[in-house]
Amino acid sequence: MKKLLFILLTFLLLIVLAFLSYDIDFSNKFVVAGRMERLVALILVSISISYSTVVFQTISANKILTPSLMGYEYLYVFSQVLLLLIFGGNSLFFRSKELSFIFASSIMIVYSLVLYRVFFKRNKKNVYFILLIGLVLGIFFNTSTQFLQMIINPNEFGYIQGAMFSSLSRISIKTISIAIVTILIVIIYLSRFFKFLDILVLGREYSMGLGVDYDKIARNQLIAISVLIAVSTALIGPITFIGVFISNISYRLTNTYLHHRTITVAFFITAMFMLAAQFVIEHILNYRHSLGVLINLAGGLYFILLILRTLRTKK
């Protein structure tokens, strides 16, 4: 495991070095600061996605479901549109990044708890049913967002586009600061539950038999996952398929049930993948495509292969 972490850390540092130093004039403070901001943002997103995906799959008891596939990111965008529709674009409640983030996170927390109570506890063995529900909910939130766009003030349409297609080139120090503080709070909040994650893999019945309050821990984890996905979506917008991509590669590399190892490897893979994708967008594609498009293309192809392989195994 130490050898694997050393290799991953080495590759990550090389990618970071290339990302920061390739084709840059270090005397231009604006360009240097911009790259540093994008680097920090991608590291924060990597932390959010790696933790939320691995733990979400533990709670849902399968390795195909991810928060993105269950409609979390589209719910975040939908909540932003709803906020704009109710209060208007000039209201303090909408213009304040802190208040709008809290509003969206609150809706996502409620959504998580409903998912857990209605689907995960009752239909845990029916993976494809839950996956279908998640895809339907994602389509519903996305379609509802598009519908609400048609009835809002045209002058406020730009705010919604910014939420739907968040770009690292438009990211602000304030947004990054909010993300850093939020992730630190979530880490402190989760620290007392982290030791129970390896037991949750056994399932609800076995975990409770060992004296672990499964429902309480699962609810707290889902609350944290909701906030982390809100952070990720606020920074770079919806990215549907990256979770299933990085989690399954991490499981193959670690081959263990220990979460601290799986999550650590998942973080390294996510950070390398996203930094490499952003490097390609900036220096090869010249910003003709967004980060989400490139990642969804690679992740979507992997997701299709994963589904086909699962079906072939069952036969």
Q: What distances in angstroms separate CA 83 from CA 5, 47, 170, one per listed residue?
A: 43, 27, 21
Give the tokens for residue 126: 């029916």
Residues 53/67, Cβ–Cβ less than 8 Å: yes
- Report which of 66, 56, 73 is spatially closest to residue 259, judged by C-alpha positions: 56
- Quick one: pLDDT band at residue 272, thresholds 50, 70, 90? very high
Q: What distances in angstroms separate CA 106 from CA 53, 99, 112, 125, one per listed residue?
A: 19, 11, 10, 28
Let me know the angle formed at the C-alpha of 92 by 86 and 97, rounded to the nearest 5 degrees: 95
Domain of 7, in residue numbers: 2-314
- The Cα 210–Cα 123 span in angstroms is 23
Looking at per-residue pLDDT, the higher value among 258 and 96 belongs to 258
- DSSP class of 120: I
- Report which of 72, 68, 49 is spatially closest to residue 267, judged by C-alpha positions: 49
Mean pLDDT to the nearest integer, 63-81: 78
Number of domains in the chain: 1
- 158: how many CB neighbours lie within 10 A of its CB? 10
Among 22-36, 141-155, 157-171, 223-237, which is the least confidently predicted range?
157-171
pLDDT digits (tens, 9 = 90+) for 24-35: 777 777 777 888
Please tell me the pTM assigned to this model. Answer: 0.82
pLDDT at 14: 93
- The Cα 140–Cα 123 span in angstroms is 21
| Helix residue ranges, H only, the chain | 2-21, 29-60, 72-87, 92-95, 97-115, 127-149, 157-164, 173-190, 197-200, 204-209, 214-236, 242-254, 259-283, 291-314
pLDDT digits (tens, 9 = 90+) for 90-120: 766 666 666 777 777 788 778 877 777 776 6
Specify the CATH number for the domain of residue 143.
1.10.3470.10
pLDDT digits (tens, 9 = 90+) for 188-246: 888 888 888 888 888 778 888 888 888 888 888 888 888 888 888 877 777 777 888 88
pLDDT digits (tens, 9 = 90+) for 14-27: 999 988 888 777 77
Q: What distances in angstroms separate CA 164 from CA 53, 157, 236, 238, one per listed residue?
A: 21, 11, 9, 7
Question: Chain-centre distance of CA 104, in angstroms?
Answer: 14
- Report which of 137, 13, 7 is spatially closest to residue 68, judged by C-alpha positions: 137
Looking at per-residue pLDDT, the higher value among 69 and 267 belongs to 267
Give the CB-side neighbour count of residue 51, counting CA atoms within 13 A.
25
Residues 152/83, Cβ–Cβ less than 8 Å: no
